Amino acid sequence: MSTLAGKKILLGVTGSIAAYKSALLIRLLVKSGAEVQVLMTQAAKDFITPLTLATLAKRPVFSEFTSSGGQGEGQWNNHVELALWADLMVIAPASAHTLAKLAHGFCDDLLSAVYLSAKCPVFLAPAMDLDMYRHPSTLDNLRRLESFGNRLIQAEHGELASGLVGEGRLAEPEHIVADLERHFAHRPIFRHKQVLITAGPTQEPIDPVRFISNHSSGKMGYAIARAFAQAGADVTLVSGPSVQPLPDPAIRRISVHSAQQMYEATAAEFSKAQIVVLAAAVADYTPLHPEEQKIKKKESVFALEMTKTIDIAATLGQQKRPDQITVGFALETNNELDNAVSKLRAKNFDLIVLNSLRDPGAGFGHDTNKITVIDKDERIYEFELKSKDKVAADLLNLVQEQLSMV
């Protein structure tokens, strides 16, 4: 479930060509379970109609202090009540003109009046042409607005309406939603904690066109990375080959292929991390002598000599500091609990997450998972089948308990 579920969001839309993206932003917010009240400036109506945004938000759009009533009587759109109603206000796109007004307290329309009355967090997502965005007056206004406690959603680099390429492009709606989700998911205990996560399979080369791998999709590791990022942690994700999109724009992803590459990338980051979650499905064996040329089909029987890969969890477990928390995964098909406890001890984990392939809907490829977690004192926590995002939230809670004891 999104952290936006049930939240009341004021969305300010201003006069920018990027206003067309507000339609998608509203759709994503509503899909996340948020209530959205749209406020438009008069200039915004030149770029997108109030009817479009009202239809998507399922609420009337306000742009004036009064609206015509059904009997011709005026209805006051109380800017103070609107400001008090909201859990969060986001202005996207925020034009150079609107940023200048808000930075200096000008109040000549409903949007600026609501902004000045807001006691909730306010997010600003600028959108304008490259030279406007770089102009000293705009940069000064942005600094001034941030000094008031407003949160800035940085403009992105890309092609602009003028044909120029550079900064000034409105952040993509998915990125804005991720920022808002991260705001509501923040936990002080995770703020700026360095978290290292591995995810996905590894691929061990046989020749230039073939490899040995497994069925891991990376979904579980990516869900865990998203949960930590939204909780305020600084996340590094070392990922084997996966089609999963980057789960949060704030996450730093390092892409690898083989078990050796995963070890090298993880080992290089290990000492910086306070929390390490080893969710990747790493190959236990790799071909001893990969061929440089494609192997031709000749013999009816083909033997492949294999050698053990480095045990990443065991190696890092020997280097683990007392202030570090490490979490491992065990995917088992038999003697599940005994095997998981043995792995917990041997690899110096604080927590181990047990999956059984015998549980329907759990394991590789599914959007759901069913886990049992064992801590270093061998206490057992059993969870029902649920989405991998909710599994990640459960794991986050257990890590938080461990962190409070360090």
Average pLDDT over residues 122-143: 94
CA 308, CA 181: separation in Å to the nearest integer?
A: 42
CA 118, CA 149: separation in Å to the nearest integer?
A: 12
What does the pLDDT look like over 293-334, one tens digit per residue? 999 888 788 889 999 999 999 999 999 999 999 999 998 888
What does the pLDDT look like over 364-375, one tens digit per residue? 878 899 999 999
**Do the annotations mark residue 343 as ligand-binding?**
yes
In this predicted structure, the answer to whether residue 72 has a pLDDT above a threshold of 60 is: no
**Do the annotations mark residue 376 as ligand-binding?**
no
* Mean per-residue pLDDT over the chain, rounded: 93
Q: Return the CATH number of 186-286+305-405, one of 3.40.50.1000, 3.40.1350.10, 1.20.140.70, 3.40.50.10300.
A: 3.40.50.10300
**Do the annotations mark residue 284 as ligand-binding?**
yes
Catalytic residue among 214, 335, 355, 397: 214
Q: The whole model's pTM is what? A: 0.71
Catalytic annotation on 397?
no
**Do the annotations mark residue 294 as ligand-binding?**
yes
Topology alike, domains 8-184 and 186-286+305-405:
yes
**Do the annotations mark residue 390 as ligand-binding?**
no
Architecture of the domain spanning 8-184? 3-Layer(aba) Sandwich (3.40)
Read off the amino acid at residue 95: S
What does the pLDDT look like over 249-269, one tens digit per residue? 889 999 999 999 999 999 999
Where in the chain are the domains?
A: 8-184, 186-286+305-405
Average pLDDT over residues 205-224: 95
CA 343, CA 350: separation in Å to the nearest integer?
A: 11
What does the pLDDT look like over 121-130, one tens digit per residue? 999 999 999 9
Residues in a beta bridge with 204:
212
252-255 vs 234-239, strand pairing mode: parallel
What does the pLDDT look like over 387-402, one tens digit per residue? 898 899 999 999 999 9
